[in-house]
Amino acid sequence: MAEKEEIISVLRLINTDRIGPVKFYQLIEDFGSPDKAVTYLEKNAKQKPWSIENAKAEIEKANKLGINILIYSDKEYPQALQGDKNSPPVLYVKGDISTLNYEKAIAIVGGRSASITGRKTASKIAMDLTEEGVCVISGMARGIDTSAHKGAMYGLNKKGKTIAVLGTGIDIVYPPENKEVYEQIAKQGCVISEFLIGTKANTSNFPRRNRTVAALSGGVLVVEASNNSGSLITAQYGIDMKKVIFAVPGTPGESRTQGSNSLIKNGAILVESASDILPFLKGNKKAEQSNLEQYVQKNLVFENNDDNYIEHKNTPETLRDYLTVDGVHIDELIRLTGKTASEIAMDIIELELSGVAERRAGNKIALTGDK
């Protein structure tokens, strides 16, 4: 890995105000090295580079936490990200760094409020792909992401590797209930983040996380995504990068599968099992991408205050995020939210009084038709 002084220069440059990955790599091209770019900014630019003290403190934090800091020029830096000027110049890694340079990989993403069937499907496909030497990548969110990670780790006699890409600092477990999953991933594969240590969940971070998930993969599989699911952002990034896009079909008319069904209608490869994916990752078939390139998902741009990226808020509105117009069983809501039956009951009453939700037969709660 890189020498400490080079890491300091990279940290200073990428954390300078108004410098993102594209600007970072342009400065490297212009000046030849991070150190020379930093020197130029110190002497000529209005925005001064991140301080040496901050960079040294960041490295010290990483050392104490047992975190490796990879920079874009390291040989261990993921080959899948090299040459892409949108790729993060810095990656914080917890776990086995060698996992980042795999032969074949796939991203498995989907809805947070996934059904039991959806979660089982994602887990089974992930396990079967792992058995075939494919690395599963996801974002460690609730629902499909978590199920995919668990399935991958269950493969290969419970030694399967997986990569979790975080939208927080490497030391922040989000959602909080995934602490055990986080630790297990770090043991069997690795957890990575491009964000400074201590960075909390923020709406602007998750699209960047999604882009990295797509970039690391050879294809993107979407399981149970609604039309406003963040997983469609990952799929759109995959389309832009000419990745192979896969989707598991869902029940027609069910809101939480409308996004994944729409992908299939627009050219994504329909998937029922790992065997539908493997030929494309092995290169035995040529994926037809013409339809995918024409696919445009209208709900890809979210404002920073959009709740689609806020995955853990103790408010009645959070419960609304788990509901569909088709209805979700109360027991499933308890599982998804982690709340008690009495807490869920109070939230339901508030949503009913506000006209947002209504009770349905079969002990289900559904969004009202105008929501």
Where along the chain do its domains lie? 4-90, 102-300, 313-367
Give the residue from 302, 297, 306, 320 showing the smallest Cα distance to 368.
Answer: 320
How far from the centroid of its chain's Cα atoms is residue 33's Cα?
30
Q: Using an 8 Å Cβ cutoff, are 300 and 339 in contact?
A: no
Distance CA 326, CA 251 (A): 11
Residue 147, sorted as left (phi over 0), alpha (psi -120 to 50) or beta, turns out to be alpha
Would you give the end-to-end CA distance of the chain in angstroms? 52
Q: Which token pair is 139?
A: 């974002």
pLDDT at 318 (0 to 100): 64
Distance CA 347, CA 343 (A): 6
Give the residue from 112, 118, 70, 123 showing the smallest Cα distance to 206.
Answer: 112
Cα torsion 314, 317, 319, 323 to 10°: value is: -160
Q: What is the mean pLDDT of each run of 10 residues along the chain (371 residues)?
A: 92 95 95 95 87 98 98 96 95 97 95 92 97 97 96 97 98 96 98 98 92 97 92 94 95 90 94 96 47 42 36 49 80 81 82 81 79 35
Q: How many CB atoms lie within 10 A of CB 232?
A: 26
Phi, psi dihedral angles at 70 (to 5 degrees): -100, 140
Q: Taking the CA of residue 211 as centre, how many other CA atoms within 13 Å lie in the half-sphere pointing to its CB?
A: 15
Are β-strands 134-138 and 244-248 bridged in parallel, bridged antiparallel, or unpaired? unpaired
Task: Give the SS3 label for residue 48.
Answer: coil
pLDDT at 134 (0 to 100): 97
Instruction: Write the DSSP string, 75-111.
Output: TTS-GGGTT-TTS-SEEEEEE-GGGGS-SEEEEEEE-
pLDDT at 92 (0 to 100): 98
pLDDT at 282 (0 to 100): 56
pLDDT at 359 (0 to 100): 87
Q: How many CB atoms lie within 10 A of CB 77?
A: 23
Side by side, the strands of the sheet bearing 68-71 are: 68-71, 90-95, 190-193, 162-165, 134-138, 104-110, 219-223, 244-248, 269-270
The yes-or-no answer to whether 102-300 and 313-367 have a common fold is no
CATH topology classification for 313-367: Arc Repressor Mutant, subunit A (1.10.10)
Give the residue from 228, 192, 229, 219 showing the smallest Cα distance to 282.
Answer: 219
Q: Using an 8 Å Cβ cutoff, are 319 and 346 in contact?
A: no
Give the residue from 299, 224, 300 showing the smallest Cα distance to 264.
Answer: 224
Q: Which token pair is 207?
A: 């699209």
pLDDT at 369 (0 to 100): 58
Give the residue from 214, 212, 221 showing the smallest Cα distance to 278.
Answer: 221
Distance CA 11, CA 44 (A): 19
Give the residue from 67, 251, 261, 274 showing the smallest Cα distance to 171.
Answer: 67
Q: Taking the CA of residue 177 as centre, how many other CA atoms within 13 Å lie in the half-sphere pointing to its CB?
A: 12
pTM: 0.80
CATH topology classification for 102-300: Rossmann fold (3.40.50)
Distances (CA, A) of 18 to 24, 46, 53, 130, 315: 10, 11, 20, 40, 34
